[in-house]
Amino acid sequence: MYTPEEIVETYEMLSLQHLNIRTITVGINLLGCLDKDPNRLKRNIYTKVVETALRLNKAVKEVEAKYGVEIVNKRIAVTPIAILLEPFAEESDASKIGLELATALDNAAEDGGIDYIGGYSALVHKGFTKGDLTLIQSISEVLSSTNRVCSCVNIASTRTGINVDAALKMGEVIKKTSELTADRKGVGCAKLVTFANAPEDNPFMPGAYHGLGEPEVSVNVGISGPAVIRAIVEKNQDLDLRQLADLVKRTAFKVTRVGELLGREVAKLMDVQFSTVDLSLAPTPKQGESIANILEAMGLERCGAPGTTAALMLLTDAVKKGGSMATTFVGGLSGAFIPVSEDAGMVEAVRAGALNLEKLEAMTAVCSAGLDMIAVPGDTPAETLAGIILDEAAICVSNDKPGGVRIIPVPHAKAGEYVDFGGLLGSTVVMEVSRFRSDRFVRRGGQIPAPIHSFRG
């Protein structure tokens, strides 16, 4: 039996607080598409992605109609394309082949009704293969010439340390991508993330790819719910932080149960394996869906004020504790996202001078998304971008957590200027970057060794 209070609560969550499933992302193994003829390879990839996408769309429509819960995004993640490029890596037109594979992915996503497709990716945390280098060299052109393709490159892990050469390459890729999309304010960089400890089952873009340890096809769910959590916090101003953490935990349990239910239903209809639920709170530019506003409802005057990192830790931990009891398998990033331009409260905090790049970096130590959707001046050097990437990677490697950098050098923009990327990418203030250089450090290259976490064997 459901109590009247539970029925009212469910109604409020769905109708007033706009609870939804942020994304259902289907992972696809493309290794069976391999062919020595690049044209046949493209056709194989296109066919497999479109067929899966159409099945996903059909299943999502049935589940939405049955349960009345919106599934905002339908996405696909594929095997890292760098692996598929290995047979062609020594050919003179290898980068062109990479672009053609990306175009095939983009066309398949469009024809299959998919919002984004991830997996134009490489895993280089300990070094490069020829396929990895081919892919990295082609990223900028791919992201500037496709609409739905997303890219991530993993440059670090807790067990291997940090590939400094890769960080520098990614700084250069980010600069070039910004320049090639200068007419769109460098927005190509919004589809690119440089990762540390990248998970194989992440449903969120642009960091999603289908890992080699995953099944042939799998369903991963990314939940939402910031408006639900915010409403709970605002209604309970008299609770101490221990009581508040428990309330957030209980609420996260309920939100996650919705994601678990819908994900399993979609997987059943598609006749594929249900994999994981990502417990991340994901904001949008819409009113009421801000992580910053949740932190402010806890008692901070502005997100970025002293105590912000502690409040974010409480929120992230409570969501994980509640969510992990509601789902059999937890995956992806599972934390609280703090993408600046996609969170209206974060933008206001930057505008007010309460939040800067250094404070955001400190906050990433207790959340999972890393430095996300940050606009910086267009003349920021590639070496400085690489230094920012290395700092974030160091936090992730030392704390054994996933995280990345999605940063946009806005062409011709200066610190303090306002920039609008449009749609769900939002708008933000261009943030100031340190004027002190790290060129000599970054250009030393090599590998930063993995840290010691225990002296026991």
pLDDT category of residue 5 using cuts at 50, 70 and 90: low
Full DSSP string of 181-206: TGGGTTGGGGGEEEEES--TT--SSS
Least confident of 209-223, 278-292, 367-381: 278-292
Short-list 368, 387, 365, 367, CA closest to 376: 387
For residues 22-43, give the mean pLDDT. Answer: 95
Confidence of residue 228 (pLDDT cuts 50, 70, 90): confident
- State the pLDDT at residue 211: 95
Domains within the chain, CATH numbers bracketed: 1-451 (3.20.70.20)
On the question of pLDDT at 74 being above 60, the answer is: yes
Label residues 242-251 b or e (16+ Cβ within 10 Å = b): eebbebbbeb
> DSSP assignment of 156-181, as one string?
EETTTEEEHHHHHHHHHHHHHHHHHT
The pLDDT of residue 437 is above 90: yes
Taking the alpha carbons of 160, 165, 171, 174 in that order, is the dihedral positive or negative? negative
Residue 9 pLDDT > 70, yes or no?
A: no
pLDDT at 10: 56
Mean of pLDDT values over 248-259: 88
What whole-number distance in Å separates Cα of residue 266 and Cα of residue 251? 23
CA geometry: angle 190, 195, 197, nearest 5 deg = 150
User: Shortest CA distance to 257 belongs to which of 334, 335, 322?
Assistant: 322
Model confidence at 372: pLDDT above 70: yes
Q: How confident is the model at residue 70 (pLDDT cuts 50, 70, 90)?
A: confident
| pLDDT tens digits along 282-320 | 888 877 789 999 999 999 999 999 999 999 999 999 999
Distance CA 115, CA 451 (A): 39
User: Taking the C-alpha atoms of 428, 234, 205 and 259 in order, what is their torsion angle to the nearest 10 degrees?
Assistant: -160
Is residue 216 scored above 80 in pLDDT?
yes
The Cα–Cα gap between 260 and 200 comes to: 19
Residue 173's closest CA among 212, 206, 211, 208?
206
Confidence at 2, pLDDT banded by 50, 70, 90: very low
Determine what percent of the chain is predicted with pLDDT higher than 90: 79
Cα-trace Rg, the chain = 21
Q: Is the pLDDT of residue 7 over 70?
A: no
Determine phi and psi for 192, rounding to 5 degrees: -135, 130
Extract the tokens encoding 431: 């943030």
pLDDT range class, residue 21, cuts 50, 70, 90: confident
Give pLDDT tens digits for 88-134. Answer: 998 888 899 999 999 999 999 999 999 999 999 999 999 999 999 99
SS3 68: coil
- 15 pLDDT tier (thresholds 50, 70, 90): low
Residue closest to 315 by CA, chosen among 222, 236, 252, 396: 252
pLDDT in tens, 159-196: 999 999 999 999 999 999 999 999 999 999 999 999 99
Q: Sign of torsion, CA 75 79 81 85?
A: negative
pLDDT of residue 407: 98
Span 129-167, pLDDT tens digits? 999 999 999 999 999 999 999 999 999 999 999 999 999
For the chain, count helices (H), then strands (E).
Answer: 14, 14
Give the integer Cα–Cα distance in Å for 453 and 311: 26
Instruction: Provide the whole-model pTM.
Output: 0.94
Neighbours of 418 (CB within 10 A): 12
Contact status, residue 343 vs residue 282, Cβ threshold 8 Å: no
Mean pLDDT of 219-235: 89
The mean predicted confidence, pLDDT, of the chain is 92
Using a 10 angstrom Cβ sphere, with 0-12 exposed, 13-18 middle and 19 or more buried, the burial of residue 435 is exposed
Number of C-beta neighbours around residue 92 at 10 A: 6
pLDDT at 1: 40
Average pLDDT over residues 252-273: 92
